[in-house]
A and B are shown apart, each in its own frame.
Chain A
């Protein structure tokens, strides 16, 4: 059981960027079935997606979010000496995208950079990583960038994936501060579920061949190639409604947190029906659980900061807040975090 506690690190700001193109599911889903039924289940009315003729990378979205946040904070680029980038849509197989971003953001060559390959649990995992790196003061200002361009990983002919996923990039700014409240984590992994959400081809286990491009009809409305995300939605659902509430509860119990004193419970935005099951199991009031899935869909590791930035901006900017956040998904990987924020920098949504 990985219960982790890190002191001396404070969240100083949060921002998010999305592509300016909006894909309306009312139009997109009509080729497959009843749009109203689809929205009642998934909660996704529209998503932001990058367009195939001039596609953006996750790093482009994260850099846009980071630039805006750095300006808002008034930070000097040279002061930022830690950068953690979490994504499953990197710029290249190699080099690591965090190195590319270090140069693009004009950060110092003394900067520590690291890529992390995780999806829906990624923001929570990467927050534990950067907090661990910063807790002793060797890094005073750090950036956690979390983003994915899911629309480029799914088949456009897969009704179980294409209308669900959106693209987004986020930036979370952290500072070394000896007065900061501790960040608390409860983290898990279960690789038995590695096949539940997977892109089978194109890595080194099953390298790309010409066959990788062949699109297969798996069932009506589900056509994809082994280069696309394949998702067993029922198994994801079963996993998430069981593990996500457990992980929140064990975090609360292990660290003796006062559940009622938490201002926001922010969950990975997976699917509205699934998220509402999780919320009802935890008996959380609706006003404490932000949702951005209606307008942005499931945005993988970006979803927790995207929900906070788009739904709680003014509270983040003006109030002291206690947060619990919980990410869960591909891996299978999941975890929960408790952290506090107080009047942080939170510029409006960036559209590029």
Chain B
């Protein structure tokens, strides 16, 4: 999970990784944008070979939800 949070932070260009936890609601982050969503999809593709879609991102609330959906789509 720690590893995933680091990759998440890198995709969204968030410097302060410590501010993020598995329970963080990522839709509320200042860095969250449509481009951030695309970067996240690209990260899932490159790092996990998982194809997540728009619905998956809209349904996920926390970073852990994202982690779970990416793992389920590998």
Question: Which A residues are within 8 Å of any B CB, using their own CB?
Answer: 37, 40-41, 196, 232-235, 237-239, 241-242, 273-274, 277, 281
Please determine whether B38 and A234 come into contact, CB atoms closer than 8 angstroms: yes
Please determine whether A235 and B53 come into contact, CB atoms closer than 8 angstroms: yes
B interface, over-half SS: helix
Set of chain A residues within 8 Å of B57, measured between Cβ atoms: 234
Question: Which B residues are within 8 Å of any A CB, using their own CB?
Answer: 34-35, 37-38, 41-42, 44-46, 51-55, 57
Please determine whether A234 and B41 come into contact, CB atoms closer than 8 angstroms: yes
CA distance A37 to B53 in the complex (A): 23
Set of chain B residues within 8 Å of A239, measured between Cβ atoms: 51, 53
CA distance A277 to B41 in the complex (A): 11
Set of chain B residues within 8 Å of A241, measured between Cβ atoms: 41-42, 45
Please determine whether B55 and A273 come into contact, CB atoms closer than 8 angstroms: no
Q: Shortest distance in angstroms between B56's beta carbon and chain A's nearest beta carbon?
A: 9
Please determine whether A273 and B41 come into contact, CB atoms closer than 8 angstroms: no
CA distance A242 to B45 in the complex (A): 7
CA distance A157 to B34 in the complex (A): 18
Set of chain B residues within 8 Å of A274, measured between Cβ atoms: 38
Task: List 13 A-B pairs, Cβ < 8 Å.
Answer: A37-B35, A40-B35, A41-B35, A233-B54, A234-B34, A234-B37, A235-B54, A238-B41, A238-B44, A238-B45, A238-B54, A241-B42, A242-B51
Set of chain A residues within 8 Å of B44, measured between Cβ atoms: 238
Please determine whether B51 and A273 come into contact, CB atoms closer than 8 angstroms: no
Q: Shortest distance in angstroms between B60's beta carbon and chain A's nearest beta carbon?
A: 12
Please determine whether B42 and A234 come into contact, CB atoms closer than 8 angstroms: no
Please determine whether A232 and B54 come into contact, CB atoms closer than 8 angstroms: yes
Residue of A nearest to B46 (CB): A281
User: Which among A235, A237, A242 is the interface contact of B55 at CB below 8 angstroms?
Assistant: A235
CA distance A78 to B53 in the complex (A): 49
